[in-house]
Amino acid sequence: MAEMERDRELENAARTMRTAPVAAGVAPDEPISELEPPSAFPGATKELIELNAELAKLPKGGTLAAKVAERGGLDVAVVGATGAVGRQMIDCLAERNFPLTRLRVLGSARTAGQSLPWPGNASLAAGDLTLAEGTAEALEGVDLILGAAANDIAMELYPRAVREGAIVVDNSSAFRLVPEVPLVVPEINAADVAESHGIIANPNCATIICLVAVWPLVQKAGLRSMVVSTYQAASGAGRRGMEELVAQEAALALGEPVPAPSAFAYQLALNLIPQIGGFDGRGYTSEEMKLQNEGRKIMHLPKLRVGCTCVRVPVMRSHAESVTLRLERPLTPSEARELLRDAPGVRLVDEPAAEPPARRYPMPLDTSDQDLVYVGRIREDLAAEDPSRGLELWCCGDQIRKGAASNTVQIAELLLR
Ligand code: 2RA
């Protein structure tokens, strides 16, 4: 009987692999079952399974250090350079003084020939960069690709570039759950870059911001499950999302009719939208399942359970998250605060009892346009069966920077070592 059930599970897993969609924003939503064959992973398609097998045959652990030592810098391409994340990647390369011999900026056919400003750094002088169309030819000979384009473009361009010797750090969701592709948050699993065969994935913004905040506590006390509610900024839908929010707010301020939404399904100004991504059969959205699927891979916790609700809020570019942790071992709020005070990538902002203006907790306006995840409101979870192993916290971080561009550039920096 147990064997029949196991066979049925395997059959279902194989069927899921053949049919599960992987188009932009579509969910890799199934939890990893211990009964699934090793090639199975959430969101697996025939194309991704073949890519996984191909990557497994390529050498592991390539770095860019030798090329930098030889030439003083790298030939780098930003794909999707005109979007909010692509532009921020360019600024991060400048700010963080990333060693460059050349910086290629690639976009759509429509933007080819236009220019983007390069602020300059110690290795490459400031100037205007001319956009080229994102094609395989435009990537020939490149050392490093920073991907800020959609899944279909990632699938089309990056496997070939890797075969030709490039390393890719990609911010799309196309490769995140492919087993031979490390999914990295440098503060948590930097060592996983050594497992790469040429593609490294950058996690989803809401995942990065949540995990940077909880990882120091997880290291100390273990983690069974999390309940997360996100408050996600308009920037998660790119420049269009931010422009739409500004236009709606301006119309409201002037008493004019609010322009119809296009980046979001409904008006965002003065509203909350409890849907990010498409729904699965259980009523969860693709965005919500990312917390569990990506969290398992990054923290190496294959049985982690995450219940999540993602909400779009009328905020410009910082995501906020309310997190309930069910820990393996007891941890008090004051121990948690001490752990977070010195944690990499974190700023502890937890003075709820002080009188204003000294009263402080993380808020989106304070966390925008910088790279730290602010954490506060740390307290015992009164609903936990064992409150000594339950904690509540609130975190907030810039979606475009730490949630996407800065994390991608930090991953690239790991390859310089
Ligand atoms: C969002 N997760 O906030 C997306 C962006 N990666 O919609």
What is the strand order of the sheet 100-107 is part of? 115-118, 127-133, 100-107, 74-79, 144-147, 167-170, 199-201
Q: In whole angstroms, how far apart are CA 282 and each of 8, 30, 33, 110?
A: 20, 10, 16, 40
Q: Which of 197, 308, 310, 319 is catalytic?
A: 319
Compute the distance between CA of residue 169 and CA of residue 154 in angstroms, rounded to an integer.
Answer: 10
What is the CATH number assigned to the segment(s) 207-233+272-400?
3.30.360.10
pLDDT at 10: 36
Give the start-to-end residue ranges of the domains of the chain. 2-44, 65-202, 207-233+272-400
pTM value? 0.90
Q: Is 236 in the pocket of ligand 1 (CB under 6 A)?
A: yes
The predicted structure's pLDDT at residue 39: 66
Q: What is the percent of the chain with per-residue pLDDT over 90, rounded to a whole number?
A: 90
Which ligand 1 atom is the nearest neighbour of the CA of 241? 7
Predicted pLDDT of residue 20: 32
User: What is residue 152's predicted lDDT score, i.e. its pLDDT?
Assistant: 97
Residue nearest to atom 1 of ligand 1 (CA): 236
Does ligand 1 come within 6 angstroms of the Cβ of 242? Answer: no
CATH class of segment(s) 65-202 = alpha beta
Q: Which of 26, 231, 245, 276 to mutate to test the pocket of ligand 1 (most atoms within 8 A of CB)?
A: 276
- By residue count, the chain amounts to 417
Catalytic, 319? Answer yes
CB 205 near ligand 1, within 6 Å: yes
User: Which atom of ligand 1 is nearest to 206's Cα?
Assistant: 2
Q: Are strands 225-232 and 318-326 parallel, antiparallel or unpaired?
A: antiparallel
Type of residue found at 393: L
Q: 276 with 312: CB under 8 angstroms?
A: yes
Tell me how far the alpha carbon of residue 110 lies from the centroid of ligand 1, in angstroms: 24
- Cβ–ligand 1 distance for 148 under 6 Å, the answer no
Of 43, 47, 46, nearest in space to 21 by CA:
43
CB-CB neighbours of 384 under 10 Å:
16
Report which of 149, 331, 317 is spatially closest to residue 231, judged by C-alpha positions.
317
Q: Of 92, 197, 205, 310, which is the active-site residue? A: 205
User: Does ligand 1 come within 6 angstroms of the Cβ of 68?
Assistant: no
Kindly state the tokens that stand for 288.
């919500």
Q: Which residues of 158-171 are buried (b: 16+ CB within 10 A; e: fewer)?
A: bbebbeeebbbbbb
Cα-to-centroid distance, 355 and ligand 1 (Å): 35
User: From CA 103, how far away is CA 107, in angstroms rounded?
Assistant: 13
Does the annotation mark 396 as catalytic? no
Of the candidates 406, 323, 402, 319, the one whose C-alpha atom is nearest the C-alpha of residue 364 is 319
Cβ of 367 closer than 6 Å to ligand 1, yes or no, is no
Tell me, using a 6 A CB cutoff, whether residue 178 lines ligand 1. Answer: no
- Atom 4 in ligand 1: residue holding the nearest Cα: 236
pLDDT beneath 70: ranges in the chain: 1-39
